[in-house]
Structure 1
Amino acid sequence: MRILTLAGFVLSALFTQTAFPAGGTSSQVLEAATQFLDQFVERQASNGYKITYELGNLDSRLTLANCIAGPTVAFSGDPWRSTHPRLEISCEGERPWRIFLSSALKITGEAFVAARPLGRGDRLREEMISRSEVVINSIRRGAIKKLEDLIGMEISRPINAGTVFTPDLVSAPDAVSRGDHVIIIARSGNFSVQSRGKALGNGRIGEQVRIENLSSSRTLRARIIGPGRVEVVM
């Protein structure tokens, strides 16, 4: 088992293919896979994660065509969403080959969790959120990494204290509620006019809601573009 420090995760580097010295025996394949994982860890610089990994076994009798340019190694899946990502090891050339190698990978670090039990519809405040050390890549839906992505959001269903916040557990609150007075922006090309209206329903940004124009008493449907603001395209 290898224990290393992981930091500064760069998403674009997740599936980068890396070539290693030539060879085709099982020991050389394992060496290339080890170098790939070591480099994956070293590229991460400063976020304070701890990672442990262990490579699966290859048949010691495995013989592959000599890879003149060196085998290429890449993750075949997202290692931040699985504790057992596979490595794809391949070689191009006159006698190309490709094999998959299993691995056990554990990335441990801090994540935002519920500081106490929370109910559906609770609006998140900073005192409701704490940090706890968890195995990051065991959270299949992905942990929310930024506090600002949580503050003000609503809980989608009841959760217990210590539950890791993931995107499916929170949703944006209604930007407009029934009875709210809103600004109606009627837009046609580069020209727009504003009027006042009253919301006849609830909705989030991007959703449609029925609005009563307070000047004309007409009812219309408008798209919510911000808290207390709706838009009608003419």
Structure 2
Amino acid sequence: MRIFPVLVLIAALASPAMAAAKTGPEDILDAARAFMEGYAGELEADDLEAEYSLGSLDPRLSLAPCAQDGIAVEFSSDPMQTTQPSLLVSCQGKRPWRMYLSVSLDIYGDALVSARPLNRGDRISQAMVTTDRVVVNAIRQGTITRPDNLIGLELKRPVRAGTPFTPHLVITPDAVSRGDHVMITARSRVFAVRTRGKALADARVGEQVLVENLSSARTVRARVIAPGQVEIAM
């Protein structure tokens, strides 16, 4: 789906008398409406719905005629990041001009939300999640729409029922916890040796953690590669 920029052109006026006329507020609003209707049609392809209202213009507004390329309209900011984007309306030619028009825009789409109140540290399961229609461009962090991108993650703070899940609301849980028995793999280019150990701290996948080798009683620093598994480069 194209989001930014998107252009729409209003056809040039046909007769010389009409071409000499000024560009007034209704011309600009007509161009903006045509642009927004086209954008709403693009959103429908992604199962999104748009509701919008255009800002008002001074009825005395009078700009140079736009007879060759027509009036061009585009978003001046990403409409998926705000409910109050503005439109840049412009005309090229011998007497070019440009102006901004405010617009209120709500984009509705399905998102994963909490099915009930949840606590910080809860590990998200399917029973904690439901789907609801939300204003997606009112959530600047972006929404999570796929369950496989959410299930098993851990909440960073408490949430109320109906709260949309966002990437900033969840974290990957610890893959090992202090006191867990883990499998240590010492790996080189040609061979690998495995032994059992005990984690001395909490850590997530990709993090370093101190591990006690249960065979030698030595403490080593290893990288967590999966739940219950750490690796040492040789």
**What is the TM-score when the length of structure 1 is the normalising length?**
0.80
**Structure 1 residues 102 and 217, CA, compared in 2 at 3 Å: closer, same or farther?**
same
Kindly indicate whether the alpha-carbon contact (under 8 Å) linking 1:50 and 1:109 is maintained by their aligned counterparts in 2. Answer: yes
Matches of 2:69 and 2:147, distance apart in 1: 45
Kindly indicate whether the alpha-carbon contact (under 8 Å) linking 2:66 and 2:92 is maintained by their aligned counterparts in 1. Answer: no
| CA apart distance, 1:232 | 3.3
Kindly indicate whether the alpha-carbon contact (under 8 Å) linking 2:118 and 2:159 is maintained by their aligned counterparts in 1. Answer: yes
Match of 1:37 in 2: 36
- Most deviating of 192-201 and 66-75: 66-75
- Report the AA paired with residue 114 of structure 2: A
| CA apart distance, 1:95 | 5.2
Structure of greater Rg: 2
- Most deviating of 152-161 and 89-98: 89-98
Match of 2:148 in 1: 148
Match of 2:17 in 1: none
| CA apart distance, 1:71 | 4.1
Matched, 1:50 2:39: no
Match of 1:107 in 2: 107
| CA apart distance, 1:183 | 3.4
- Report the AA paired with residue 143 of structure 1: T
Kindly indicate whether the alpha-carbon contact (under 8 Å) linking 2:114 and 2:162 is maintained by their aligned counterparts in 1. Answer: yes
**Structure 1 residues 54 and 217, CA, compared in 2 at 3 Å: closer, same or farther?**
same
| CA apart distance, 1:80 | 2.4
Kindly indicate whether the alpha-carbon contact (under 8 Å) linking 1:19 and 1:69 is maintained by their aligned counterparts in 2. Answer: no
Matches of 1:192 and 1:64, distance apart in 2: 77
| CA apart distance, 1:209 | 1.4
Match of 1:161 in 2: 161
| CA apart distance, 1:174 | 0.8
Matches of 1:27 and 1:47, distance apart in 2: 31
Matched, 1:59 2:48: no
Matches of 2:90 and 2:214, distance apart in 1: 67
- Report the AA paired with residue 30 of structure 1: L
Kindly indicate whether the alpha-carbon contact (under 8 Å) linking 1:53 and 1:103 is maintained by their aligned counterparts in 2. Answer: yes
Match of 1:3 in 2: none
Matches of 1:132 and 1:79, distance apart in 2: 21
Structure 1 residues 78-98: Cα deviation after superposition (integer angstroms, max 9, x where no partner): 322322111223445665543
* Identical aligned residues as a percent: 47
Match of 2:18 in 1: none
How many residues were matched structurally? 222
Structure 1 residues 19-76: Cα deviation after superposition (integer angstroms, max 9, x where no partner): 4136682433333322221111212345543321111123342314637334443222
- Most deviating of 58-67 and 155-164: 58-67
Match of 1:5 in 2: none
Task: Specify every segment of 5 or more residues in structure 1 that has no aligned partner in the other structure, as ranges.
Answer: 1-9
| CA apart distance, 1:161 | 1.7
Match of 2:19 in 1: none
Match of 2:81 in 1: 81
**Structure 1 residues 232 and 65, CA, compared in 2 at 3 Å: closer, same or farther?**
farther
Matches of 2:226 and 2:118, distance apart in 1: 26
- Report the AA paired with residue 39 of structure 1: G
- Report the AA paired with residue 18 of structure 1: L
Matches of 2:173 and 2:185, distance apart in 1: 22
Kindly indicate whether the alpha-carbon contact (under 8 Å) linking 2:52 and 2:105 is maintained by their aligned counterparts in 1. Answer: yes
| CA apart distance, 1:227 | 1.8
- Report the AA paired with residue 68 of structure 2: I
Matches of 1:72 and 1:182, distance apart in 2: 62
Kindly indicate whether the alpha-carbon contact (under 8 Å) linking 1:203 and 1:224 is maintained by their aligned counterparts in 2. Answer: yes
**Structure 1 residues 218 and 83, CA, compared in 2 at 3 Å: closer, same or farther?**
same
| CA apart distance, 1:200 | 1.2
After superposition, the CA RMSD in angstroms is 2.7
Matches of 2:123 and 2:151, distance apart in 1: 8
Structure 1 residues 176-211: Cα deviation after superposition (integer angstroms, max 9, x where no partner): 1122233334455x5452423322111112222112
